[in-house]
Amino acid sequence: MHYTLNQLQVFLKVAQTQSVTKAAELLHLTQPAVSIQLKNFQAQFDIPLTEVVGRKIYITEFGKEIAEAAAEIINQVNGINQKSLQYKGQLAGRLKITIVSTAKYVMPYFLSEFLRRNPGVELLMDVTNKQRVVESLEANEVDFSMVSILPQKLNLEHIDLLPNKLYMVGKTRSSFDESRSLEEQFDELNWIYREKGSGTRQMMESFVEQNHWAIAKKLELTSNEAVKQAVIAGLGFSIMPLIGLKNELNNGDIKIFSVSGLPMATMWQLVWVKGKKHSPVAQAFISHIKKEAATLIQKNFDWYIKY
């Protein structure tokens, strides 16, 4: 057999995602390139690694065993590379982070300089929902997470990074009766919500409850990006984090409406399980954040802080 490390990596990612398309996206390869590597890898075995039912790919029992072996080999190779870098005095290893979806507008700015200074560090960052973030912390699967509302049932340590400010937003030319105050019409408007369990949804529901609104017209979407596009399309109003609206506000696609009690604010926080034994990479990242956070915020979020 003459399979390559690249073929092992491709097959492992296909096995993990059960999708050639998703594997290609995560590996930053084209779908045909992944298909060719998968075909060449399969050709070295007499027993099928995968099977296609309908249009979905499934991993056979034999394929699952090969995937486990591939994961071990890749981890060993990564370990060799890390030891080589460490021997030369460079920081090396993996940094595993989960973040809620809106944090994708925040977290990369706290990572970029750290990764530039430490090319031997491999970043594994999962942008997901709040439930999955909490699960990753509970299972001790990650070094850090980023949330704007601390999970109450977990004992966490945290570093405050940036306020998370939420405003009422709508299309620039919105359909409501301008002869009456906006507050008088809240119950009549179409409202766009995040899915249940979302931190943004939690904040919006809290505000609605405080104001005793009886919202009847509701649309529920599963990401802030989807909510934003729905607002731009004129499907309704929402209460959204300012952090993801910079371009739309500058372009005039979205308008912030002045409402008593808004903006509401939570705090973006880097969190980890209390008592966690950090790797040298994780320890270095904490030191980087504590030292550089103020400078990074001023450099990248000056517009946001002043808004």
H or E, element range at 144: strand 144-147
- Average of per-residue pLDDT across 82-87: 61
The packing angle between helices 31-42 and 5-17, to 10°, is 110
Say how far apart CA 265 and CA 62 lie, in whole Å: 51
Check whether domain 91-162+267-306 has CATH 3.40.190.10, yes or no: yes
Cβ atoms within 10 Å of 1's Cβ, excluding its own: 5
pTM more than 0.75: no
Would 91-162+267-306 and 164-265 be classified into the same CATH topology? Answer: yes
Instruction: Please answer whether residues 228 and 140 qualify as being in contact, where contact means their C-beta atoms are separated by less than 8 angstroms.
Output: no
Report pLDDT digits (tens) over 264-287: 999 999 999 999 999 889 999 999
- Average of per-residue pLDDT across 5-20: 89
Residue 239 is predicted with a pLDDT of 95
Residue 73 is predicted with a pLDDT of 87
- Average of per-residue pLDDT across 101-120: 93
Say how far apart CA 119 and CA 115 lie, in whole Å: 6
Tokens of 105: 């507008």
Q: What are phi and psi of 149, to 5 degrees?
A: -130, 120
Instruction: Please answer whether residues 271 and 145 qualify as being in contact, where contact means their C-beta atoms are separated by less than 8 angstroms.
Output: yes
Per-position DSSP letters for 212-272, written without gaps between them: T-----EEEESSHHHHHHHHHTTS-BEEEEGGG-HHHHHHTSEEEEP-TT--EEEEEEEEE
Cα four-point dihedral sign 243, 249, 255, 257: positive
Give the pLDDT band (50/70/90) at residue 157: very high
Report pLDDT digits (tens) over 189-208: 889 999 888 889 999 999 88
Give the pLDDT band (50/70/90) at residue 153: confident
Percent of the chain, pLDDT > 70?
95
Which CATH code, of 3.40.1080.10, 3.40.50.800, 3.40.190.10, 3.40.50.261, is assigned to 164-265? Answer: 3.40.190.10
CATH topology assigned to domain 5-86: Arc Repressor Mutant, subunit A (1.10.10)
User: How high is the mean pLDDT of the chain?
Assistant: 89
Percent of the chain, pLDDT > 90?
56
Q: What are phi and psi of 90, to 5 degrees?
A: -100, 145
Instruction: Please answer whether residues 253 and 172 qualify as being in contact, where contact means their C-beta atoms are separated by less than 8 angstroms.
Output: yes
Report pLDDT digits (tens) over 213-244: 877 778 999 888 999 999 999 999 999 999 99
Q: Does residue 45 or residue 82 have the better pLDDT?
A: 45
Label residues 259-283 b or e (16+ Cβ within 10 Å = b): beeebbebebbbbbbeeeeeeebbe
Residue 3 is predicted with a pLDDT of 85
Residue 71 is predicted with a pLDDT of 86
Q: Find the radius of gyration of the CA atoms of the chain.
A: 23
Structure-token match 């398309």, residue found:
21
Residue 83 is predicted with a pLDDT of 66
Domain boundaries, the chain: 5-86, 91-162+267-306, 164-265
Q: How far is CA 115 from the centre of its chain?
A: 18
Per-position DSSP letters for 44-113, written without gaps between them: T-SS-SEEEETTEEEE-HHHHHHHHHHHHHHHHHHHHHHHHHHHTT---EEEEEEEEGGGGGTHHHHHHH
Beta bridge partners of 156: 273
Label residues 225-258 b or e (16+ Cβ within 10 Å = b): ebbbebbbeebbbbbbbbbbbeebbeeebbbbee
Say how far apart CA 233 and CA 16 lie, in whole Å: 36
Whether residue 149 is predicted with pLDDT greater than 80 in this model: the reply is yes
Whether residue 161 is predicted with pLDDT greater than 90 in this model: the reply is yes
Question: What is the SS3 assignment for 115?
Answer: helix
Per the document, the length of the chain is: 307
